[in-house]
Amino acid sequence: MFAEPLSQVGAVFTAPRVRTLSERLTALENAFTGHPIVVGGVSLGAHVAASWAVRNPEKCAGLILALPAWTGAPDGAPAAAAARASAEIVARQGLDTALSGTTGWLHAELSRAWRGYGEQLVPHLEEAAEHPAPTLDELKTLDVPTGIVGCADDPVHPIEIAREWADALPRAVLTETTLDAYPHALGRAVQAWQQARQPCC
């Protein structure tokens, strides 16, 4: 969803195959070769990208974020609860049962992504459910152009979280869409990032 919009603005897109949070962070470290880079992701990937940027502001040239799920500790966030429930179903009844309650693009996306984790799927879902996102105070320190997209009708990734992040980040542009437009609409985060790069006056 990001590759085509990024190619249209001349960016080189890299998406390494990773399974654990530590692998994601290592991939970001390895992507930095001396020049600041634009990083991003969807849901947990957005959390990881923003967390890495908070800790490495001198290495980050911008953020492209889709569907942030919570701010700070996950606590009772819907996405955290969904990840824990999915992990339990996969562990007890298998992946096919976990996927049986989904349809359409969501089924296709989860089937593709989850099968790629193999035996690491349950630990990944459990890890994701416990991993903190950046706090609003941390986001306020990131003075880099940021594009964010959220779905106004997504109960798992509440649009209020995307709005909170956009308000906290000094140079953020938020685009709102709907689940019907997913997944291609998530690429609008790239256009939002382009807008955030423009001078404010």
Domain spans in the chain, listed from the N-terminal domain onward: 3-70+133-197, 78-128
pLDDT band at 162 (very low <50, low <70, confident <90, very high): very high
Task: Name the token pair of 196.
Answer: 């955030």
Which pLDDT score, from 0 to 100, does residue 23 have? 84
CA dist 83 and 50 (Å) reads 20
Question: Residue 131: is its pLDDT beyond 70?
Answer: yes
* Higher per-residue pLDDT: 77 or 29: 77
> Going by CATH, does the domain composed of 3-70+133-197 fall within 3.40.50.300?
no
Question: Residue 137: is its pLDDT beyond 80?
Answer: yes
Question: Residue 20: is its pLDDT beyond 80?
Answer: no
Residue 67 to residues 35, 54, 91, 101, 113: CA-CA distances in angstroms? 27, 18, 26, 21, 16
Which pLDDT score, from 0 to 100, does residue 183 have? 65
CA dist 31 and 25 (Å) reads 10
Which pLDDT score, from 0 to 100, does residue 153 have? 92
Residues 6+ apart with CB under 8 A from 85: none
pLDDT band at 200 (very low <50, low <70, confident <90, very high): low
Q: How many Cα neighbours within 13 Å face the side chain of 57? A: 10
Rg (CA), the chain: 16
pLDDT band at 132 (very low <50, low <70, confident <90, very high): very high
pLDDT band at 127 (very low <50, low <70, confident <90, very high): very high
For the chain, the average pLDDT equals 89
* Higher per-residue pLDDT: 189 or 72: 72
Q: pTM for this structure?
A: 0.89
51-66 pLDDT, tens digit each: 999 999 999 999 999 9
